[in-house]
Structure 1
Amino acid sequence: MSTSTSTGQILRADVIVVGGGNAGFTAAHAARERGRSVVLLEKANEHEAGGNSYYTAGATRIAHAGLADIADIVDADERHAATEVPPYSAEDYAADLVKVTGGRNDPELTRVLVQESQNTLRWLKQRGLKYRLMYERQAYERPDGSYLFWGGLHVGNTGGGEGLIADHTRVALEEGVEIRYGHGVESLIVESDVVVGVRFSTDDGQTGEARGETVVLAAGGFESSPELREKYLGTGWGNAKVRGTPFNTGLALEAALAIGAGKGGDWNTCHSVAWDALTENNESNRELTNRLTRQSYPLGIVVNNRGSRFLDEGADFRNYTYAKYGREILAQPDSIAYQVFDAELRPLLRTEEYDMPGISVFEAPTIEELADRMGVDRETFAKTIAEFNASIDRSITLDPTIKDGRKADVQPPKSNWASPIETGPFYAYPVTCGITFTFGGLSADTEGRVRTEDGTVIPGLLVCGEMLGGLFSGNYPGGSGLAAGSVFGRRAGSIA
């Protein structure tokens, strides 16, 4: 319901959801399931909506017991009969979160995420969302024509992030959720120490309020604000490329902090990846979305513009390293690096990321000519390649489906999947740091109830999605962001 006053429009509903990404929509679905009226405020206009969720590949990490356990969740596919999907237990999921965050993940939030991940996806499937096995991103085809999935991440949304938001929007409208596009929240309304609504401005210059019994904040982090990136992440982060929505500028976070909400999680780190450095329009690109990532680096080597390696490309499966390697690239001279492959490795690269027309790539018949095209010193680059090639343990057969221990004994080492760069033509893909989302958020319990710094719950205010702090620090396991948005969005909507 809405009314108009001299001070602007007033929207009324039982639940006000701020943010139209995966977490916000999931909260709206859960609230509607309980018969609550819902107004969802989305800062972007309808053609730019969906938050960061729109820009993802849709990968969602869930615990499961193998393909038979999740076959009823994913779309039918004739390849299933020749597919091996290893089980991924809740214990494995929790251990991966501890491993990649260095133990800085909140144990209670972790417990809820891993235990409820599959059931939440099954619930969303029942509501009308569609999922599939991610063959093109998470499986290798074996010589006998069968497929083996790897890295604990197997399920994704049909149609990727675009399909995810299309499904969420369709379901929400069918449920009777009122979606208001172009409504950016600027502050929270507090009366008698209870949050009773929000103040917003619209993209056509109007102002107003949305009032209800509960406000659910699901408006993302501050990754789209160069000023806040420099303030919290450190010097140089203003140069990072924004992979996703340009609308996550931290205003909703600041609005919550202004009424006494406590900070949760790690405000000094973020999810950042290797991102196409030179392709035109390489920020917030709604056409190419996630395909500007370059994530086959474990198969080759990565050098900076001085021609030297600076990280262990094979430290672990891509799923466990890609979200932290963006910052390593940002720290290199001129914040640029090059992923290097030879003709033997080139066919193994992800088609959706490395075979698109118009992407930035240098190709040459020799290492020296490749160095010239990259603009790096010939001698240094050739020495890097020669030392790497000479140090490889070639007694071990390359197997990208496992951590094969095929090591290059150089500094830094390459711990797995080391293959010589020796067969022309040679390829170099220029990459920079693409920032996805910030890990710092609001302090909340496992139901999403926002707390002050001293742990007191703020009545009427819930949080979910990237605004919920505490799960991630320094790094995260691929696909756990969408999973967390779904799990904690459902929890927030279930009590809103």
Structure 2
Amino acid sequence: MSQIFQAGSAFDVLVIGSGIAGLSSAVAAAEAGASVAVLERSSPEEFGGNTRWTESYLRMKNEHEVSDDFEELLVSNAGNNIDPNVIEATSAAYENWPDYVKAHGMPDPELVSTLSSCAGPTLQWLKTFGIRFDALPTYFVTAAAPRIMPVGGGLAMIETLQAHARKRGVSLFFHTTVTSLSRRDSEGWLNVGVATGDKAGESLMLRARSVVIASGGFEGNPEMMTQYIGGTARYIRPVARGGYYNKGEGIRLALALGAAPAGDFSSFHAEPLDPRSAAPEALVMNFPYGILVNKNGRRFTDEAPGPVDVNYDHISRAIKDEPDGIAWVVFDQRIHDVPNWKKSIRTDQPSIQADDIASLAQACGISVEGLQRTMDEYNAACSDGEFAPLRPDGLATRGISPVKSNWARRIDQGSYMAYPIIAGICFTYGGIKTNNCAQVVDADGRIVPGLYAAGEATGLYYQVYTGATSVLRGAVFGKIAGQHAAAQLC
């Protein structure tokens, strides 16, 4: 049950959000002896943010080691056209970086190195609460990176952590939203205004020695989505209910205090979502073996540049720029040559089926003429060659644009099938700048005393998501934030 607020209550550490980042912070701080409260806008039945609804893939070879490409990919996705002077400055010790470099929005090497080196120890810490990890089957038919995950997914992790938080005396407040946040006053307190369901329309003030912002991104806020993503945000929806609770207040309140922004505010992590389904993560991942067309029946992207786990993000995101922000994957009976292809379909809705292309187009509500012309052009561009469904096979189209780089076979063996796909949003990329202790850094490169951030509220990613790193980021820096905040009390 949710506890009841008392105005003026004071805590050593106040955590905003109860996903993997927030609960890791709360438990770590409580273990260190701090008095801790967690503020969560959702109900007790739906706590947990995005973590609750995901398998929580972790980009690790085993419980101790991250993937071999872990740091390389995070650094290579650090943004566009970075000033060489900034890059050179980061080769020095952090304390010697110029202030503007400390405040730069890129994921600096210190942050990436900390995430990589602390991943294994953080999993060992989580295991002490009874959370188990294993290399369980994923929904990817082809994959370029190893993944392990918690047994029971994200839900098992947050339920376990919440139970341990309660045992440690952490106060949990649900139906509660933070409305204001101050810097530390002369007595060392941060003042936090909250609105709670227990006191409708009433603003209450709390005090804390430290605050951890772990309230996620802004994918549940259409105003911020339109501001940062643009007009096509109208076509995007969260992949699961947890995203609707992420309204971006934590980010806005930190920026209002002078926090430096970080990450790519113009982009987001996308997944290919069946818009007909109400199920969480109703994904359609089989498009590398078919073609993607828009409502005009035209192809618009390379469906198969490589393994799907590397490429689904930017391919899904491209769909938002098509008419009405929707596409369809079209395939035929040859799909059955792909072993276990149905595991790539997570939607609970059936495929749209027809005996011929014209009927399929009509059933989908797309241009009959456009789809027939596209299919004729595509089939003519396919050539003979070895089809190898479980690895990139180089079986590419010839003479059409965009090219299909792998698994390009004629689609002419009816009956035909299609699924509609939109760009579902997992989380936004833009957020708060932090250092490797999860302390919030202001626009002048200085630490904001007592203010921490972890998880999706922080900026890390640019361009393309480095798969299976988000939950890991939340756990690692959530733990660091809680421990560091508690240590400052000594």
What range describes the TM-score normalised by the shorter chain of this pair? 0.7 to 0.9
Report how far residue 263 of structure 1 moved: 1.2
Report how far residue 101 of structure 1 moved: 5.5
Q: Residues 88 and 191 from structure 1, CA distance in 2 versus in 1: closer, same or farther, beyond 3 angstroms?
A: closer
Residue identity in the other structure for 2:246:
N
Contact in 1 for aligned 2:303/2:315 (Cα 8 Å): no
Residue identity in the other structure for 2:256:
A
Show structure 1 runs of 4+ deviating over 6 A. Answer: none
1:492 to 475, 481, 486: 481
Report how far residue 185 of structure 1 moved: 0.9
Separation in structure 1 between the aligned mates of residue 364 and residue 4 of structure 2, nearest angstrom: 60
Counterpart position of 1:483: 472
Contact in 2 for aligned 1:58/1:164 (Cα 8 Å): no
2:245 to 235, 244, 247: 247
Counterpart position of 1:219: 215
Report how far residue 330 of structure 1 moved: 0.9
Superposed counterparts of 1:297-376, under 5 Å: 297-346=287-336, 348=339, 351=342, 354=345, 357=348, 359=349, 361-376=351-366
Aligned length: 451
Counterpart position of 2:259: 261
The answer to whether the aligner puts 1:424 opposite 2:414 as a matched pair is yes
1:133 to 135, 141, 163: 135
Gaps of 5+ in 2: 81-105, 486-490
1:407 to 392, 396, 421: 396
Q: Secondary structure at the match of 2:306?
A: coil
Contact in 2 for aligned 1:138/1:154 (Cα 8 Å): no
Deviates more, 1:311-320 or 1:481-490: 311-320
Deviates more, 1:479-488 or 1:368-377: 368-377
Gaps of 5+ in 1: 74-86, 141-149, 283-287
Contact in 2 for aligned 1:398/1:418 (Cα 8 Å): no
The answer to whether the aligner puts 1:93 opposite 2:70 as a matched pair is yes
Counterpart position of 1:79: none
Q: Residues 101 and 453 from structure 1, CA distance in 2 versus in 1: closer, same or farther, beyond 3 angstroms?
A: closer
Q: Secondary structure at the match of 1:326?
A: helix
RMSD: 2.4
The answer to whether the aligner puts 1:170 opposite 2:172 as a matched pair is no
Counterpart position of 1:124: 126
The answer to whether the aligner puts 1:390 opposite 2:384 as a matched pair is no
Q: Secondary structure at the match of 1:321?
A: helix
Counterpart position of 2:101: none
Contact in 1 for aligned 2:283/2:347 (Cα 8 Å): no
Separation in structure 2 between the aligned mates of residue 394 and residue 492 of structure 1, nearest angstrom: 56
Q: Cα deviations across residues 391-418 of structure 1 (Å, max 9, x unaligned)?
A: 3343233132x33222223311112222
Contact in 1 for aligned 2:375/2:411 (Cα 8 Å): yes
Report how far residue 345 of structure 1 moved: 0.9
Contact in 1 for aligned 2:335/2:341 (Cα 8 Å): no
- The percentage of counterpart residues that share the same residue type is 31
Separation in structure 2 between the aligned mates of residue 221 and residue 356 of structure 1, nearest angstrom: 25
Report how far residue 488 of structure 1 moved: 1.1
Higher relative strand content: 1
Q: Residues 210 and 350 from structure 1, CA distance in 2 versus in 1: closer, same or farther, beyond 3 angstroms?
A: farther
Q: Residues 477 and 30 from structure 1, CA distance in 2 versus in 1: closer, same or farther, beyond 3 angstroms?
A: same
Q: Residues 265 and 356 from structure 1, CA distance in 2 versus in 1: closer, same or farther, beyond 3 angstroms?
A: closer
Residue identity in the other structure for 1:94:
E
Separation in structure 1 between the aligned mates of residue 18 and residue 180 of structure 2, nearest angstrom: 17
Contact in 2 for aligned 1:14/1:214 (Cα 8 Å): yes
Q: Secondary structure at the match of 1:427?
A: strand
Q: Cα deviations across residues 219-257 of structure 1 (Å, max 9, x unaligned)?
A: 011111111111111122133112232111111211112
Separation in structure 1 between the aligned mates of residue 132 and residue 342 of structure 2, nearest angstrom: 23
Report how far residue 100 of structure 1 moved: 5.1
Q: Secondary structure at the match of 1:135?
A: coil
The answer to whether the aligner puts 1:59 opposite 2:36 as a matched pair is no
Contact in 2 for aligned 1:138/1:151 (Cα 8 Å): no
2:280 to 285, 289, 292: 289
Residue identity in the other structure for 2:134:
R
